[in-house]
Amino acid sequence: MPSANSQDDFMDLIQQMSQQMIETGELLQKNAQRLWFDYQRQGLMAQELNAAITKLGQHPELIADYQQQLAQKISEDLQSPKETRDRRFKDEAWEQPGFAQLKSMYLSFCESTMSLMANIPDLDDAQKQRVLFFVRQWLSAMSPSNFPMTNPVVLQATQASGGMNLLQGLQNYMDDWQRGKGLHNVRMTDLNAYRPGKNLATTPGKIIYQNELIQLIQYSPTTVKVSKRPLLVVPPWINKYYILDLQPQNSLAKWLVDQGHTLFMISWVNPDASLKDKSFEDYMEQGVLAAVDAIEQSTGENSINALGYCLGGTLLGATLGYMKAQGDERINAATFFTTLLDFTHPGELGCFLSKEQLEILEQQMEAEGVLDGRALALAYNMLRENDLYWSYHVNNYLLGKEPPAFDLLYWNSDATNLPAAMHSFYLRNMYLENRLKDPGGIQLKGIDIDISKIDVPCYFLSAEKDHIALWESTYLGAQKLSGKVTFVLAGSGHVAGVINPADSGKYSYFTNDTLAGSPEDWFGHAEQSAGSWWPHWDSWLKQQGGEIVSARDPEKGKLTPIEDAPGSYVLKTLD
């Protein structure tokens, strides 16, 4: 029998949801145009799947083999359910009779279906990758773990709480809908647990320069002496810079300052529709080049080192090509974290970017002025859909629980918009047409960009399990450059492989001084070292840093500080 308190809680939730339903209806009306564009893109996915299935229908022998093998596997599953390390089914409740067989049959169905789709003849590599991606999304969505009546953990919670878990889950679902403004981004962490400048991005420094697109942070030194050449960091503007300055124990920014580097960090603006016409050229001119100018004005140094992370690395590579053509030698050496310069293997992100998909996306960006950061965040999350979407669907909506506080996932949820002009150029010229790798493939401010003429020393850090910038493709980009390249392959993925503090003792990294042949050849002759690659990079970076000089206080530079780090740009969230 429910208690009086639980009945009160029930009525409170009902009243809240009634109001939210009204607000959700209004939200859907306001976002009808966005929903229409989403519907068009989904229609293209369905057409491609239908075309693949039509081709499959021309090979009845493949379907017959599939049916026979699947029937055999299901028969075996009913008699002896298979064991699995799949985290969706880790709870011991899945070992109960009935649920154990259901789990096992589902996994067999997924395995057989993916194998069938992979063997459809007459699909080129890009088509096959898209079809497999779409089918995998469908299979993940239909997992028995995602539904109340087929998830024993949810059934137990429902019985224990009298159904309050499902009611609270519905409340959580509607909260996410409202926060996402019509884009369904499931909450992955406690969004009230962190705030940049309070318990994230707390490394001391000053904003010494700003324009429409950037604020430039100069960090306060913690050593008496520093390397002569400052280090400029160009983070991606798809996310905010503080992935490199989370908390003191995992802050790359703090660690670099503590190693004796004069560190400058670009903090990109979170653009709205008023910046829709900002181009890739603008990001070069008002971003990297403006930062280089400001560092020279502030410190008097006309030779610096630079680091680009992900998209920031792609911009840095293009900028180095531009500077080379202009005879500008102010960047002495460059580091690239998980950076694509050659997009031959774009990974699963390419599944969202057929020519037809991009045309619809460009229409949407033109209409809205920006690509909403929430849409991009959802696309990235669906690259690891079970870990970054469906697990939270179960936790938040079916179990009615709150996700735990986690700094990395807070950063992941702190999305940024992308200006229409810039993002269209980037997607079309890099991802779709892969033009940056070719001499003169793109032009910036009327200058042909040729990355093969970049001859400064470069350090490439890639990640073995990176699902965004496949290391095999970052390796191809590193081979395009004509200077001395040090290529290092870290363990883990796109973020954890980079944010791996020197004293963590986690993962390992691979080195090989010979950058010739295929990625597989390089890896086959690479040497493995335990732990973080940070000290290895710092040793390389200090070799590029020049003589040792007195540390530089940002308050005593030639540019007057504007405000304390982390600055105001990083605090702007999506409306």
Q: Which residues are catalytic?
A: 310
Whether omega before 121 lies within 30 degrees of 0, making that bond cis, reads: no
- DSSP annotation string for 176-195: HHHHTTTS-----S-TTS--
Helix (H) or strand (E) holding 543: helix 534-543
382: CB partners within 8 A, 6+ apart: 137, 388, 389
C-alpha torsion sign, points 257, 263, 267, 268: negative
Contact indicator for 134, 53 with CB cutoff of 8 Å: no
Identify which of 253, 169, 184, 285 has the alpha carbon closest to the alpha carbon of residue 498: 253
Identify which of 162, 456, 411 has the alpha carbon closest to the alpha carbon of residue 307: 456
CA–CA dist 365, 45 (Å, integer): 19
CA–CA dist 561, 209 (Å, integer): 7
CA–CA dist 156, 569 (Å, integer): 46
Tokens of residue 366, six digits? 């033109």
Residue 282 CB coordination number (10 Å): 19
Contact indicator for 31, 24 with CB cutoff of 8 Å: no
Q: What are phi and psi of 225, to 5 degrees?
A: -120, 155
CA–CA dist 488, 505 (Å, integer): 17
What is the rounded (10 degree) CA torsion for 384, 387, 388, 389? 100
Identify which of 239, 270, 572, 570 has the alpha carbon closest to the alpha carbon of residue 377: 239
**HSE of 367 in the Cβ direction (CA atoms, 13 Å)?**
13
CA–CA dist 218, 561 (Å, integer): 9
